[in-house]
Amino acid sequence: MISAPGKVLWIGSYAVVFGGISHVISINKRVRCEVIDSERTFFETSYGNYYENGNELISSVKKVIVEKFGFFPKVHVKLINDKDFEINNKKTGLGSSSAATVALTACIYHKITNKLDLDEIHKLAQKANFIRQKGIGSGFDIASAMYGSIIYKRFTDINKMDFYYEKLKIGKYMMILGFTGRSSNTVDLVKEFVKKEKDPRFKEVIDELNIENETAIKLLKLGKIDEACVHVDLAWNFLNFIAEDIIGIKLQSRQDKELISIAKREGAWTSIMPGAGGGDIIFAIGDNLDNVKKAWEIKGIKIIEIAEDEGLKIDS
C-alpha cells in the first residue's frame, strides 16, 4: 500500500499562484492506495466506485499514465481517504484531491515499473493535477504530497517543470485546525485573484506580501518559528487588503476573525485561514493550544488535531 499526506499551506496563500514563495506543512491525514490484478479496471474510492475512466481525478491520472507508458493496467484500485478529509459530507480543505492524485499515480507507476522514482512520479502527478484543474493552481499541494513539508515556488510552464522545492520541516509544535462547517471552492476563489493579476495596485501589494513571506521563511530556517509567525500575520493583512479592497471579496467572515482573535489571545503564535481561505478551516500553531481548543469548542467548532508527517511512502 502507498500513501500520500494532506497539507496545510500557511505561508504563501494565493501569492504562490503568481510565482511567490510558500511553505507547506504535510500532515498526518493521508490518502492510501493499493492495487490488485483484475480482469477489468475498477476504482473503489471514498467518493464512490467507478469502472474504467471514473471521475475527473481518475481520468486525469489515467491520461498521463497512458501517455507515459502506452497503457493503463487492468487492476482493482482501492483509493481511500483518512476520515478527517471530510466531516458531515463536507470537505475540510486538507488537500485530499492532491494527495489522491499523488497516491494513485505512484501506485500505478509502481505497479508498472516495480519502483518509486519520486521525481518522475511528481512530474506525472503535476501534469494530471494541471489537467484536472484546467491550468488553475500552482501545484504546491502535489509537491507537498510527494516530498513532505517544503518551501515551494511554482513552475512557469507545466511542460518545463521548472518548479523549485526545498524540504523544510517545522518540528514538533502543537497544531490544530478548526472546522467551521462551511466549505469553500479553491478554484473559484483563485480565479477571482487571477482576474486582477495585471492591476498595478494588485502587483504593488502582492510584492509587499511576498517580502513578508520571504522573511517568515528565512526565520523558519533559523528555527525562529515564533518570530516567523509575526510576518505570517503581516502577509495575511496584505492578502485581506487585496481581497477586500482590490478584488471585492471576503476571505474571512466575522466569525472567522473572532475565532482567529480567540486563538491568538489564548496562546497561539499565529492563527490564519490556510490555503485559499474562504471559511472551511482555521489553523493555529503554538507550544500549547489546549486553551485554544477549549475556546473554539465552546463556539461549536470541530477540532482536528494534526501533526507534521512525511511525504509519499510505502506503508507496511
User: How far is the CA of 221 from the CAs of 197, 213, 284, in angstroms?
Assistant: 30, 13, 20
Is residue 131 domain-resident?
yes
Strands (E), 195-274: 270-272
- pLDDT tens digits, one per residue of 20-63: 999 999 999 999 999 999 999 999 999 899 998 889 999 999 99
The pLDDT, as a whole number, for residue 63 is: 97
Q: Are strands 2-11 and 313-314 parallel, antiparallel or unpaired?
A: antiparallel
Would you list the DSSP string of 87-100? ETTEE-SS-HHHHH
> How far does CA 170 lie from the centroid of its chain?
16
Which cell numbers hold the place of 278?
A: 474562504
Please tell me whether residues 153 and 16 are part of one structural domain.
Answer: yes
Please tell me whether residues 77 and 112 are part of one structural domain.
Answer: yes
Please tell me whether residues 166 and 179 are part of one structural domain.
Answer: no
Give the DSSP H or E segment for 257.
Answer: helix 254-265
The pLDDT, as a whole number, for residue 278 is: 62
The pLDDT, as a whole number, for residue 53 is: 81
Distance between first and last Cα of the chain: 7
Is residue 314 domain-resident?
no
Please tell me whether residues 20 and 129 are part of one structural domain.
Answer: yes
Residue 149 is part of a domain; what is its CATH number? Answer: 3.30.230.10
Q: What is the CA radius of gyration of the chain?
A: 19
Q: How far apart are CA 76 and CA 39, in angstroms?
A: 9
Please tell me whether residues 70 and 192 are part of one structural domain.
Answer: no
The pLDDT, as a whole number, for residue 279 is: 64
Please tell me whether residues 66 and 144 are part of one structural domain.
Answer: yes
In three-state form (DSSP H/G/I as H, E/B as E, the rest C), the secondary structure along 35-52 is EEECCCCEEEECCEEEEC
- 189 burial class (0-12, 13-18, 19+ CB within 10 angstroms)? buried
User: What domain range includes position 279?
Assistant: 174-306
Which cell numbers hold the place of 113?
A: 515499473
Please tell me whether residues 239 and 120 are part of one structural domain.
Answer: no
Give the DSSP H or E segment for 118.
Answer: helix 118-132
Is residue 72 within 8 Å of 124, Cβ to Cβ? no
Please tell me whether residues 40 and 114 are part of one structural domain.
Answer: yes
Is residue 316 domain-resident?
no
pLDDT < 70 stretches in the chain: 183-184, 277-279
Is residue 315 domain-resident?
no
Please tell me whether residues 127 and 23 are part of one structural domain.
Answer: yes
